[in-house]
Amino acid sequence: MRAFTYERARDPVAAARAAAARPGVKFLAGGTNLLDLMKLEIEAPAHLVDVQDIGLDSIEATREGGLRIGALVTNSDLASDMRVRRDYPVLTRAIVAGASGQLRNKATTAGNLLQRTRCPYFYDTNMACNKRRPGSGCAAIGGLSRQLGVIGVSDACIATFPGDMAVAMRVLDATIETVNADGGCRTIPIAGFHRLWGDHPEQDTVLKPGELITAVTLPRPLGGRHVYEKVRDRASYAYALVSVAAVIQADGSGRVAFGGVAPRPWRVEEADALLPQGAAAVTACAFRGATPTRDNAFKLPLATRALAAAIGRATS
Ligand code: SF4
């Protein structure tokens, strides 16, 4: 691990100001992804701004009938909150499908959104990786790509966003709130929070340098039956090959988002409208233009089968 300096921030604006004051700064919250990356020297920040003491650890009802989740609410606390379990069960189910109990006790809402890809070449510093070292190439293209993306990828990177929580948040149309060094706030729909890789896979999100996530807001509950279906190589503690977050209403209408297939939670609203026609119609629309590799083409029929299972569970 490379040497770095460290400070604890007292409030969100002070944290953003400290991060904007110099290059090479990272925020530290639960540390469940960042510290691993630092030990492997994939991330080598010159300075860490610890945000664990700045509040932002409560879940509050909004005037619009939704919930505002502080950025530092742990995954365990979010999954077990009675309002989330009652009104947004797809979110609880997605969170408990990820990581382990110990990690969920430390991992935060903001950190979960910011976790980096699990592409094996990203973690192997001997291999070319445009995300780790821009311009170095992509060892996954033409290499082992079974776990990687089938849509929204580029000639520079075919990695996926690895999380579960964000897939449920995408189906719920969550918004992400941030603050910058001047105290300015902005709200980012989760649909546009994670970038498609394009020519710059080193940039995972639309956050600007020093911009700090303060909260995630969920709109009013959607009702309906909530399902999170995750297909993975082993029964626990594994990332999704394909996952499906679905909210299905009694008349068969609903919403669906997919994980494990793209650089962001993948939802095509036009495909939602096809839910009454069945899983194959939805995935034919949602994955139009997909560019799978020989290794991961199985993800396309798997997505259809996972969605069919989710619809079956929601309507049984
Ligand atoms: Fe790196 Fe992306 Fe290629 Fe993986 S797919 S090696 S993360 S550039």
Measured N-to-C along each axis, helices 279-286 and 299-315 cross at an angle, to the nearest 10 degrees, of: 140
Burial (CB count within 10 angstroms: exposed 0-12, middle 13-18, buried 19+), residue 103? middle
The C-alpha atoms of residue 127 and residue 119 are separated, in whole angstroms, by 11
The token pair at 197 is 């890789």
What is the pLDDT, as a whole number, of residue 281?
A: 98
What is the pLDDT, as a whole number, of residue 171?
A: 98
- List the residue whose alpha carbon is closest to atom 2 of ligand 1: 157
Q: What is the pLDDT along the chain (316 residues), one digit of tens a residue?
A: 899 999 999 999 999 999 999 999 999 999 999 999 999 999 999 999 999 999 999 999 999 999 999 999 999 999 999 999 999 999 999 999 999 999 999 999 999 999 999 999 999 999 999 999 999 999 999 999 999 999 999 999 999 999 999 999 999 999 999 999 999 999 999 999 999 989 999 999 999 999 999 999 999 999 999 999 999 999 888 999 999 999 999 999 999 999 999 999 999 999 999 999 999 999 999 999 999 999 999 999 999 999 999 999 999 8
Tell me if 314 CB under 6 Å of ligand 1.
Answer: no
Tell me if 153 CB under 6 Å of ligand 1.
Answer: no
Tell me if 287 CB under 6 Å of ligand 1.
Answer: no
The C-alpha atoms of residue 213 and residue 231 are separated, in whole angstroms, by 30
Are 8 and 29 spatial neighbours (Cβ–Cβ below 8 Å)? no
Q: Output b/e per residue, 258-287; b: 16+ Cβ within 10 A.
A: bbbbbbbbbbbeebbebbeeebeebbebbb
The C-alpha atoms of residue 76 and residue 96 are separated, in whole angstroms, by 8
Tell me if 139 CB under 6 Å of ligand 1.
Answer: yes
3-class SS of residue 258: strand
- Mutation choice for ligand 1 from 138, 150, 153, 196, CB with most ligand atoms inside 8 A: 138
